[in-house]
Amino acid sequence: MRYAFTESQLAWRDEVRAFIREHKTAALDDEMRRLSNEEIGPQARKFQDALLAKGWWGICWPKEYGGQERSAIELFIFIEEMTLASCPYLSLTYTSMAPTILRVGTDEQKSHWLPRITRGEIEFAAGYSEPEAGTDLASLRTRADLDGDHYLVNGQKTWNTGAHTATHQWLAVRTDQQAKKHQGISLLIVPMDAPGITVQPIYVWPGLRTNAVFFDNVRVPKDHLIGAPGMGFYYIAMALDFERIAIGSPAMVQRMFGQLRETVATIERDGRPLAADPAVRRKLARLETEIEAARWLAIQNAWAIDQGGVPTTEASMAKIFVSELSARFADVALEILGPLGQLGPDDADAPVDGRIQWLYRVAPMLRFGGGTNEVQRIIIAQRGLGLPR
Amino acid sequence: MNLAPTAEQQELQASARRFLEKEITRERLLAWDKTTEGYDAAFWRGVVDLGWIAFSLPEPAGGGGGLLDMALILEECGRALAPAGIHAAVVGARALAALGAPVQGVATAALHERERRAGKGLPSSRVERGKLRGEKWFVRQGVSADSLIVPAREHDELVLVNVPANAPGISRRELATFGGDRQSVVRFDGVAISPQARLASGAAAAEALRRIQDEATALALAEMVGGFAVVCETTVAYMKERVQFNQPLGKFQGVQFRCADMATSLSATRHVVFSAIWRLSQGLDARRELAIARAWAGGAYKQATLDAHQLHGGAGYVVEHPLHRYAERAQSYAILFASEDDALTELADQLLPREDEER
């Protein structure tokens, strides 16, 4: 038993911190404050290029493919440090899609796609949800029918975040209309410049952009189908479990908590700093306690991966806890800040860079997105505790 | 990072579990309810023969186990509803050994005033002209212990003394607490303090008392983790078995959600508790982690026992079912060792400057 990072894990953390010190500029901070996810700005692009140049696109990838072959705990450290420092870190392309290609792709697919990904030439948008297939993803209808050496793709995707900047769709399609609903789905890589694709913006509550994407007889080479046909649903489930190392980290809340803690010393109410108000002190101490619990659940998830296997229940526990903590944190923090907490990032008087009111509006998505928390609870109950289906 | 006990530690836990499972039967628990000690002589002999009390001592005092190993054994005690006297005896023995005093029989540490924990300001009990006067409350195993470790004030500084429980001037009364552990009020009416009885004074006493408090807390938290795990396992097992409306209760989503939350809360509790214990056992600063563990564990465990009662319904409510014992321990341990209010106040003082010092 050792409830602390090892020497080599600490050395890795120092390496990550040194990288951040070198590459995180004031200009990047400024850009990240101004831009939402409408686009990746030039500063963020520069930062990401530096990550790629360092070979840090594949922290956990095998050395065979040029990766770092580091442990999941080290990936957790990387994500934690990047998030604490408010850096744009690697997208799902690197943390979810590429590892899936590594695990299930053919040798040809690996040698075709992976070098392009590591050179930063490819950015995927995840094409999973449809208007009639959300939580019940296996009901998806977008179809890909074989036509010679091509697939013909027809259908509609929604909540397609990043479709307007991505180079490719990572698309879940039905390739077998006769198979049972979970078994007829495949994963297909579709270039965004293929004729027949239409992208329509959808704006959501916190001002973030996502998209609806329409496919009208889009022709895709047959070899763009990743892994085995009919296995797509299971690949997605597997990829989601790995993704949850990222969604399961409370580092964003930790960062805002640190800022909040400094802020309460500077705001006076009724003739004394907020930090001197016993009710505020108690609330902050309680949040600190919950953040610590969340962080251990996140570490448990990474640690379970390092013990071998896919961390189904651990990932679900971390996802539920962190997303619900984010919502609670934002609410409690807004209550502490009072009227000032309403101010957004564009207002110079906004406490905590105006991020807490933003988190309050983002947190609902954290709870229902990435596999709803209800589904996560069912996963824990049925797969973890063995309760009947 | 390694969140699991080593193979050796797992074997230690497994052997403790075998012993406790064999010894602690439902009938014996009911019989122990009527005893002063909370256990019988044969059971205690078994505990002593296993060497748990001696094993818990630091190596220079002849023991072999550190705080972490002892915590893993106490986790098993918490699972098995073992008598709370084990915790009291281990805390007392480790305290004496750390202060270089010989360990004989069961020593218990008097860690509470009538209204508060010891260690906050000077105690009201006093040593004057070599005599101890005062009163300690909620002394665990106070009536059955062989000696008492008492924090007191002498010339406006803290002293720690160890007095034989049968010394003239000591009177002891069992308190009617609900938790099934044995808590007493102990009065000291001019108890003579010999030079050997003095364990420490001044800053050394304050430091020693803090260490005793921390270890008592850490070991109690380990017991709580063990109990919490059983509550969770037992509830899930019953939900698979109990059929209503022609299906196991565990098939209902409302039930599954409660069970999932209980399991998540257990994982979080285990890690916040053992991260604090691990740091303490390594001699690292654990003030933050201990405060967090106290603030988290009591509430989480209590909630789990109440949810377990809700899910068990009447079946878990009968006195023969052990669930109420876990529920009572969750509450009494939370009160004595893991007060959320106290812990959050301490944690806030670590997080934020104190501006109203008079508070």
| CATH number of the CATH domain containing B135 | 2.40.110.10
Interface of A with B in 233-262 (CB under 8 A): 261
Number of domains in chain A: 3
More confident residue, B218 or A249: B218
Give domain status of residue B309, yes or no. Answer: yes
Cβ contact B68–A1 (<8 Å): yes
Interface of A with B in 65-124 (CB under 8 A): 73
Give domain status of residue B245, yes or no. Answer: yes
The pLDDT of residue A47: 93
Give domain status of residue A116, yes or no. Answer: no
pLDDT of A340 > 50? The answer is: yes
**CB atoms near residue B46 (< 10 Å):** 16
Q: Which chain A residue has the Cα nearest residue B5?
A: A1
Cβ contact A289–B351 (<8 Å): no
The CATH code of the domain that includes B66 is 1.10.540.10
If asked whether residues A256 and A339 sit together in one domain, one would say yes
Give domain status of residue A1, yes or no. Answer: no
Among B80, B106, B132, residue at a domain's last position: B106
Q: Which two tokens stand for residue B90?
A: 């281990």
Give domain status of residue B274, yes or no. Answer: yes
Q: Which two tokens stand for residue A155?
A: 């259908």
Give domain status of residue B278, yes or no. Answer: yes
Give domain status of residue A104, yes or no. Answer: no
The pLDDT of residue B180: 77
Give domain status of residue B1, yes or no. Answer: no
Q: CB distance from B243 to chain A under 8 Å?
A: no
Cβ contact B271–A317 (<8 Å): no
Parent domain of A303: 248-384
If asked whether residues A272 and A221 sit together in one domain, one would say no
The CATH code of the domain that includes B268 is 1.20.140.10
If asked whether residues A199 and A253 sit together in one domain, one would say no
Write down the mean pLDDT value for chain B: 93
Q: A300 contacts in B (CB within 8 Å)?
A: 3, 267, 271
Q: CB distance from A348 to chain B under 8 Å?
A: no
If asked whether residues B229 and B255 sit together in one domain, one would say yes
The pLDDT of residue A2: 96
If asked whether residues A297 and A359 sit together in one domain, one would say yes
Give domain status of residue B154, yes or no. Answer: yes
The pLDDT of residue B59: 66
If asked whether residues B114 and B80 sit together in one domain, one would say no
Among this protein's residues, is A108 annotated catalytic?
A: no
| Percent of chain A's residues with pLDDT above 70 | 96
A343 phi-psi bin (left φ>0, alpha ψ -120 to 50, beta other): beta
Among B201, B216, B245, residue at a domain's last position: B201
The 10s digit of each residue's pLDDT in A181-222 is: 999 999 999 999 999 999 999 999 988 899 999 999 999 999
If asked whether residues B219 and B320 sit together in one domain, one would say yes
State how far Cα B120 lies from the chain centre.
Answer: 19
Record the pTM: 0.94
The pLDDT of residue A241: 67
Q: A380 contacts in B (CB within 8 Å)?
A: 259-260, 263-264
Give domain status of residue B357, yes or no. Answer: no
d(CA B107, CA B90): 8
If asked whether residues B225 and B337 sit together in one domain, one would say yes
The pLDDT of residue B358: 42
The 10s digit of each residue's pLDDT in B163-210 is: 999 999 999 999 999 987 899 999 999 999 999 999 999 999 999 999
If asked whether residues B312 and B238 sit together in one domain, one would say yes
If asked whether residues A133 and A197 sit together in one domain, one would say yes
Mean pLDDT of B20-29: 94
Interface of A with B in 278-317 (CB under 8 A): 278, 281-282, 284-286, 288-290, 292-294, 296-297, 299-300, 303, 313-314, 316-317
The CATH code of the domain that includes A174 is 2.40.110.10
The CATH code of the domain that includes A348 is 1.20.140.10
If asked whether residues B338 and B249 sit together in one domain, one would say yes
pLDDT of B126 > 60? The answer is: yes
If asked whether residues A85 and A178 sit together in one domain, one would say no
Radius of gyration in angstroms for the set of CA atoms belonging to chain A, rounded to a whole number: 22
If asked whether residues B172 and B211 sit together in one domain, one would say no
DSSP state of A39: -
Give domain status of residue B359, yes or no. Answer: no
If asked whether residues B218 and B280 sit together in one domain, one would say yes
Task: List, in sequence order, every beta strand (DSSP E) within chain B.
Answer: 107-109, 126-128, 131-140, 147-154, 157-164, 170-174, 183-192, 198-201, 243-244, 247-248
The pLDDT of residue B117: 80
d(CA A33, CA A353): 8
If asked whether residues A281 and A223 sit together in one domain, one would say no
d(CA B353, CA B359): 13
pLDDT of A36 > 70? The answer is: no
Instruction: Give the residue among B24, B17, B55 at the shortest CA–CA distance from B40.
Output: B24
The pLDDT of residue B333: 96
Among A203, A230, A257, residue at a domain's last position: A230
Torsion sign across C-alpha atoms B250, B255, B256, B261:
negative
If asked whether residues A254 and A226 sit together in one domain, one would say no
Give domain status of residue A389, yes or no. Answer: no
Parent domain of B132: 108-201
Distances, alpha carbon B175 to alpha carbons B142, B144, B236, in Å: 10, 13, 35
If asked whether residues B224 and B246 sit together in one domain, one would say yes
Among B167, B201, B235, residue at a domain's last position: B201
User: Residues A109, A110, A111, CA angle at the centre, nearest 5°?
Assistant: 95
d(CA B21, CA B230): 13
Q: B1 contacts in A (CB within 8 Å)?
A: 2-6, 9, 73, 299, 303
Q: How many CB pairs under 8 A join A and B?
A: 153
Q: Which chain A residue has the Cα nearest residue B4?
A: A1
Q: How sure is the predictor about B359, in pLDDT bands with cuts at 50, 70 and 90?
A: very low
**CB atoms near residue B59 (< 10 Å):** 10
pLDDT of A321 > 80? The answer is: yes
More confident residue, B157 or A41: B157
pLDDT of A246 > 80? The answer is: no
Q: Which residues make Cβ contacts (< 8 Å) with residue A326, sequence separation at least 6?
A: A250, A252, A253, A359, A362, A363, A366
If asked whether residues A142 and A73 sit together in one domain, one would say no
d(CA A162, CA A43): 18
B202 phi-psi bin (left φ>0, alpha ψ -120 to 50, beta other): left
If asked whether residues A380 and A260 sit together in one domain, one would say yes
d(CA B91, CA B118): 15
**CB atoms near residue B257 (< 10 Å):** 16
Element (H, E) at A353: none
If asked whether residues A152 and A61 sit together in one domain, one would say no
Distances, alpha carbon A380 to alpha carbons A320, A389, B41, B63, in Å: 10, 12, 44, 41
If asked whether residues B216 and B308 sit together in one domain, one would say yes
If asked whether residues A266 and A190 sit together in one domain, one would say no
Mean pLDDT of B271-283: 96
